[in-house]
Amino acid sequence: MKKALRFSVIVCVVSWIFAAIMYWGRGIHNTTDNPMAYSLFATAYMFFPLICAIAIQLINKEKLGGTGLLKFKIRWSWLIAWLLPVVIVAATIIVNSLFDGCELKFHMPKIPGMENLSPEDMAKISAMQNPKVVIITTLVSGLFAGITINAIAAFGEEYGWRNYLVNALRGKNFWLACLFIGILWGIWHFPIILMGHNYPEHNVAGIFMMIAMCLVMTPIELYLVLKAKSVYPAAIFHGTINALAGATMLFISGGSDLINGLAGLAGIITMAIIVLIFFVYDKFVSEENIMSKRIEETLTD
């Protein structure tokens, strides 16, 4: 536990210092003033768990692959990690539509400057905004990004959360490890949440929503990692979730950022249901019973 606590302090302090430098030194105050600069900052921020974990391993002269979770051996759980976000997004849209003030209705976000376009350009954009075209394009591009560029960025986080920390907590049971990693993961996000990431209308309340979201996502990711004995399914799942998250906004009218989408209450409820399904499967169907064991028991099976 000391190893996990030490890493937690280091990764938060280093990451938050970087965020403070970007905020006060580079003037990146929110997600909207300079979207490109913010996007670069947010992407760089994702790599600090990896940087901190590797730095600690090098200082302590630990073998980088000593956790055993960096083995690149493709298993069925990789495919589940890639496709499950599609199910989660679709289910989130349905759950979202059940909230008061929310309506299931396809719509495209307004494009800045669209009113200045020529009739010909407007016609081209309208054709591209056909619901079937948008859905297929969003799905295909999201799945592709999920196993490529987004997975690489997500690996920056997952090396710390689902590789280094899992090894540091290997003596703990599955649920205690999930609680520790989920809370840390959520708290670590707080500078970008205050900048308006995911919850631009409720950035303070958004901190607690992000912690809740990370708490329900962690059992899903940790289960996939332990099932495959590899960190890569977590990176694929995380990357694909990030790639497809915006799709929920195309189908819901009304509501607020605390309710809508994967990061809202609708997404949290949906992922909690997925966790319950995983639990039932693990307890009554699977012979491994990963959720009932200590981490090291699963890793050494």
Query: What are the residue boundaries of the structural domains of the chain, listed by start?
Result: 2-299
* CB 11 within 8 Å of CB 49: yes
Asked whether the predicted pLDDT for residue 38 surpasses 60, the reply is yes
pLDDT of residue 136: 84
Average pLDDT over the chain, rounded to an integer: 90
CA 178/CA 166 separation, integer angstroms = 9
Residue 121 has pLDDT above 80, yes or no: no
Percent of the chain at pLDDT above 70?
A: 92
How far, in Å, are 84, 110, 176, 180, 244 from residue 209 at the CA level?
22, 27, 20, 16, 19
Query: What does R_g of the chain's alpha carbons equal in angstroms?
Result: 20
Cα dist from 203 to 12, 185, 187, 210, 269, whole Å: 19, 17, 13, 10, 20
User: Residue 264's pLDDT is what?
Assistant: 96
Beta carbons within 10 angstroms of residue 135's beta carbon? 14
pLDDT tens column, 163-221: 999 999 999 999 999 999 999 999 999 999 999 999 999 999 999 999 999 999 999 99
Q: At what angle do helices 76-97 and 265-284 cross, to 10 degrees?
A: 140
50 CA to centre of own chain: 15
Q: Is residue 134 scored above 90 in pLDDT?
A: no
Residue-wise pLDDT tens digits, 234-265:
999 999 999 999 888 888 889 899 999 999 99
Q: What is the pLDDT of residue 106?
A: 79
